[in-house]
Structure 1
Amino acid sequence: MGAPGGYGTGFALIVVLFILLVIVGAGILRF
């Protein structure tokens, strides 16, 4: 899949933010 570097970077950033959101959400539920 020939995706531009900017798209790949943006997608990676979204994935990281999503993972952080899940971790924070799990921490709040656990707390």
Structure 2
Amino acid sequence: MAKSKVEYVCTECGDVSPKWAGQCAACKGWN
């Protein structure tokens, strides 16, 4: 079975990132 891809969505702007960084790269909001 293939490994499912994990994506993290910013709660402020909805930007999707392949890994959790704590701060959104798009809007600089903290998640």
Relative contact order higher in (CA < 8 Å, ≥ 6 apart): 2
Q: Same fold (TM over 0.5)?
A: no
Structure having the larger proportion of residues in strand: 2
TM-score by length of 1: 0.18
Structure having the larger proportion of residues in helix: 1
TM-score by length of 2: 0.18
For the pair shown, which has the larger CA radius of gyration, 1 or 2?
1
